[in-house]
Amino acid sequence: MQMKMGVRLSSALMGAAALLMTAGSAAADVKLPSTMAWTAYDTGSAGHAHAVAMGKAFKEKYGVNLRVLPGKNDVSRLRPLQVGKVEAVANGVGTYFAQEGVFGFDKPDWGPQNIRIVMSSTGGAGLMVGVAGDVGVKEYKDLKGKRVAWVKAAPALNHNVTAFLAFAGLTWDDVEKVEFAGFGASWEGMTNNQVDAAFAISNSGATKAVAASPRGLLWPPLPFSDTDGWKRLKDMAPYMNQHKVSAGTNVDKASPIEGMAYPYPILTVRTDADSDLIYNITKAVVESFDAYKDGAPGAAGWALANQAFEWAVPYHDGAIKYFKEIGVWTDAMQQHNDGLVKRQEVLQGAWAEFTKNAPADEAAFLEGWGKARVAALKGAGMKPVIE
C-alpha cells in the first residue's frame, strides 16, 4: 500500500578544514551524473534560491547540470523523490513529518517514509512566534488570554505554535485561537489588529508590514537557561534547536535573541539512494561552499560549522562516509543516528502491520493509524511526539 522512500561542531572543524585545504583538485575527486534533478520550495523561496545557487556552483566546478523543480507543499516536493524521478529534495521540516507518517503523510499512498538527510542550512534568522508590540507581551507566558493565529490546513505550522505555548506552560485552551486561511493572512491579521501573535521565520517579508505598523513587532526570547521550558518544547517538537537569532525584522545583529530555529533547507534523499552518489553530493556541497555561499540570501547557512549532526532525521550512510573521512563524525553522532534509524524501523513496521487490514473509510483510516503509530512507538519505549 505504501510506496517506500528510501551537534554542531567545535574542535573537529579544525581537522576538517585542514583536510579540505589539502584535498587537491576537488573537481577531479567529485564524481556526479552529468544531469541531476532536485525538487525545492516555490520559485522565490530560500530553498529554491539555495538549490539554484548550488546548481550554478556544480556547473562551474563539476560540469553538472542541476534542474531545480519547484513544489508548493511537502507532498508535491517529496512525491518525485518517492517515485524515483529526482535525486534529492531541498525540503523543510516536512522531512521530519514524512518520517513520522503524520500531517499529510498519514494517507494510504504515503505512510512513514524511509528517508535520510545529507546536509542542511541554518542561518542567522530564527523560526519564532512574533508578537504585536502593543499588547504588553514580553515573555511567551504573557500570551495567556491573547489572540494567537491558527492557520487552516497547516498542521505543521500550528504544531510549531503549540510547542512555543508548551515552552511557556500554556496550551491552546489558554489563548484565543483566531483562524486564518493562510500564512500571509495571519500576518495581515496582525497588522489589522485581528490577532496578537503568529509564527514566521524572522526575516520573512510578511513580518515587515507589522513592524512598520503602529502596533510594532517583537520576538520574545526562549531563554536557554529555562531548561524546563526547553524540555517541554523539545518533547513537543524534537526538530527544534536552540538558536541565537541574529537576522530578521526588528532583530539587532549585535544583540541576538535566544530563540529557536530548525534547519532549512534540508537536503533529503531516499535511504536506498546509491551510497557513492550521496557521498559525492555531500562532498560537492561542502567543497563548493565558497562558490555558492553568496549566491542566495542565507546560503552561507550550509557551512560545515552550521550542521546539526544530531537532529531528528538520520543521515544517509553516504554522507556519513564523507563526514568520517574529514574527521567531523563522532561515535556519539553515530549512536544518535542509529537511534533515529531504529525509530524509522518501528514506524514502518507499524504501518506495514496496520495496512494489512486498514479501514477503507478515510476518517477511520486516519484515526486507526494514529492509534497504531502511538502504540508502536510507546511499545518500543519511544516518544510519539505527535498524538
Q: Kindly give the interhelix angle for 317-325 and 275-287, rounded to the nearest 10 degrees.
A: 50
If asked whether residues 238 and 292 sit together in one domain, one would say: no
If you average pLDDT over residues 320-334, what whole number do you get? 98
Domain count, the chain: 2
The answer to whether residues 230 and 250 touch, using CB atoms and an 8 Å cutoff, is: no
CB-based burial, 67-81: b 16+ in 10 Å, e otherwise: ebbbbebbbebbbbb
C-alpha cell at 39: 525538487
Residue 27 resides in a domain: yes
Supply the range of the domain harboring residue 251.
127-255
Spatial separation of the C-alpha atoms in residues 115 and 314, rounded to whole Å? 8
Mean pLDDT value across residues 45-72:
95
Query: pTM of the entire structure?
Result: 0.86
**Cis peptide before 265, with omega less than 30 degrees from 0?**
yes
Give the pLDDT confidence score for residue 27 in this predicted structure: 57
Q: Which amino acid is at 48?
A: H
Tens digits of residue pLDDT in 134-177: 999 999 999 999 999 999 888 889 999 999 999 999 999 999 99
Residue 316: the pLDDT is: 99
Confidence of residue 298 (pLDDT cuts 50, 70, 90): confident
Q: Is residue 75 included in any domain, yes or no?
A: yes
8 A C-beta contact, residue 30 and residue 62: yes
Instruction: Give the 3-state secondary structure of residue 46.
Output: helix
- Are 153 and 110 part of one and the same domain? no
282 in the same domain as 243: no
Average per-residue pLDDT in the chain? 93
Are both 100 and 26 inside the same structural domain?
Answer: yes
Q: Say if 2 falls within a structural domain.
A: no
What CATH number did the domain enclosing 193 receive?
A: 3.40.190.10
Q: In sequence order, what E strands does the chain have? A: 35-40, 65-70, 88-91, 115-120, 127-132, 147-151, 176-180, 197-201, 217-218, 241-245, 257-261, 266-270
